A and B are shown apart, each in its own frame.
Chain A
Amino acid sequence: MRELSDKELIISYLKGDEKSIEFLIDRYLKPIYSFVFRFIGDSTEAEDITQEVFVRMWKNIKKYDQERSFKTWIFSIAKNASIDFLKKKKAIPFSKFENEEGENSLIDKLIVSNPLPSEIFEQNNIGSMLSSALKELLPKDRMILFLRYNDHFTFKEIAESLGEPLNTIKSRHRRALIRLKKLLI
């Protein structure tokens, strides 16, 4: 059962095998929890939201378009659940999530495709440095970097998960990298 693909597990669940959904949850529990935790920044709330994500997944699994990637679908549920939570909580101004693109067209044109200086990796506390640098980024930019470098998503998958155009994701990614680099060096 564990070797089955996401799609096969969903088909098996829809045919009546209740265990399939448990395998699917087990497979995505860690990445979804990490995603939500990075988004929200609080472990207790991340637990509740993660639970909500999987309940929403279960509720909508019959409507799930099997032509779409399950991974991007479940991450888009996680993103929406996290945003809903933040909206309710109003912990951060919601304007931060909207209409960011085109804010500084000059930044978009800058080249960031150069490797990081090796001194960065020589630091002992690089983990905590990176953590605090990431906290300085906008939640959405932070998510893009996490999905790209932690969860190894392609830009297309990030765009589908976050429900944004591919080019917006790419420019946000560029901007986030510039900002992160500035914070680290």
Chain B
Amino acid sequence: MHPLIVLVYSDMKKDYERLFTSLKPMEPPIGLFERIILAIKREKELQNTRRILFSFLCLLIVSVALAPFSWNLLEKQAVNSGIIQFLSLALSDVNVFISSWQSFSLAILESLPVMGIMLFTINMALALFTLRLFLYKKRLLLSYLMKKAY
């Protein structure tokens, strides 16, 4: 660009900048900063609630869906292992059980449906944890869901 044009152009820019200084400066209203910080905090809480709700729903679906399977597995394994017979014998004839409790205990332990028990226990723990999560955050979750509904 020609130096003269640059000079004229910079004069023009200065002129307009000077012109714009005559405008009343726009001051943000008092309290706007605090309002913004509060809105961000609220948004953070909302995000956390959404996250909790999502994990609650996931856990609920998983625990409800797995419950019949884990129960069926436990039931089948218990029937097949013969533990029920051992237990019923131990309960019906306590004297026999007491006299040879070591053999009985070993037989019961050997026939334990470990896999079924483990899966069912995990399933129940998950369900309890979901319930606890819901009870712990119920007010937060319900108010969020109510807000969404309206």
Query: Once the chains bind, are A54 and B12 in contact (CB under 8 Å)?
Result: no
Q: Digit string of B21-44 for contact with A (CB within 8 Å is 1, else 0)?
A: 011111111001101110110010
Q: Using CB atoms and an 8 Å cutoff, list the residues of chain B in contact with chain A.
A: 5, 8-9, 11-20, 22-29, 32-33, 35-37, 39-40, 43
Q: Is the CB of A152 within 8 A of B18?
A: no
Q: What B residues does A120 contact at CB under 8 A?
A: 19
- B9, B24, B25, B37: the one contacting A22 at CB < 8 Å is B37
Chain A 79-119 interface 0/1 with B at a Cβ cutoff of 8 Å (1 = within): 00000000000000000000000000000000011111000
Q: A58-B43, A127-B23 are in contact. Are A51 and B36 (CB under 8 A)?
A: yes
Select B36's contact among A25, A121, A126, beta carbons within 8 Å.
Answer: A25
* Contact with B29, one of A21, A47, A113 (Cβ below 8 angstroms): A47
**SS class of chain B's interface: helix, strand, loop or mixed?**
helix
Please determine whether A114 and B19 come into contact, CB atoms closer than 8 angstroms. Answer: no
Prevailing SS type, chain A contact patch: helix
Report the bound CA distance from A50 to B14 in whole Å.
29
List the A side residues contacting B32 at CB < 8 Å. 29, 33, 47, 50-51
Chain A residues proximal to chain B, CB less than 8 Å: 21-22, 25-26, 29-30, 33-34, 37-38, 43, 47, 50-51, 54-55, 58-59, 112-116, 120-121, 126-127, 130-131, 145-146, 148-150, 152, 177
Q: Is A114's CB under 8 angstroms from B28's CB?
A: no
Interface pair A113/B20, CB less than 8 Å apart: no
Docked Cα-Cα span, A34 to B24, in Å, equals: 10
